[in-house]
């Protein structure tokens, strides 16, 4: 099976923070028969968080290391294209949710017909528009 990983999931994986990954999602990311994807939008967001000091990644000495570390984890980066942009343009803003990076990642997952794994409860409101959301209920929450 194929899965997109939201930015928050990339952070948890890069930090090797098992406490933030549910058993269900851990089974998905640990199953080597599954193909894990990261949107280039999520990677852009992650790099910005790193450069602005909002997250600290011990596995990376520089922002450039983030890309190689994602690949080392077996995650394939999928670059945003015209089909994703068309879906983005058609996507309705749901529930007052105005995060443009989330919208782009959601549109990409819908356009590619690939489930999106995320801890973001705001994304539930996009299931009516075709998002297949695999919710990561953080352990201990």
Q: What is the CATH number of the domain that holds 83?
A: 3.40.50.1010
- How many residues can be counted in the chain? 141
**83 vs 47: CA distance, rounded Å:** 24
The answer to whether position 140 is within a domain reads: no
What tens-digit pLDDT sequence spans the chain (141 residues)? 999 999 999 999 999 888 999 999 999 999 999 999 999 999 999 999 999 999 888 888 888 999 999 999 999 999 999 999 999 999 999 888 899 999 999 999 999 999 999 999 999 999 999 999 999 998 755
**65 vs 104: CA distance, rounded Å:** 24
- Residue 75's domain comprises 2-135
Number of domains in the chain: 1
The answer to whether position 93 is within a domain reads: yes
Note the pTM of the prediction, 2 decimals: 0.94
The answer to whether position 35 is within a domain reads: yes
């Amino acid at each position: 099976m194929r899965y997109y990983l939201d930015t928050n999931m990339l952070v948890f994986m890069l930090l090797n923070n098992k406490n933030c990954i549910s058993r269900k999602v851990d089974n998905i990311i640990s199953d080597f028969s599954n193909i894990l994807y990261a949107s280039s939008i999520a990677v852009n967001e992650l790099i910005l968080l790193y450069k602005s000091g909002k997250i600290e990644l011990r596995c990376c000495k520089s922002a450039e290391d983030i890309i190689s570390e994602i690949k080392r984890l077996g995650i394939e980066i999928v670059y945003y294209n015209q089909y994703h942009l068309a879906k983005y343009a058609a996507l309705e803003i749901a529930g007052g949710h105005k995060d443009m990076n989330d919208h782009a990642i959601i549109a990409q997952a819908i356009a590619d017909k690939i489930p999106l794994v995320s801890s973001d409860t705001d994304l539930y409101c996009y299931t009516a528009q075709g998002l297949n959301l695999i919710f990561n209920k953080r352990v201990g929450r």
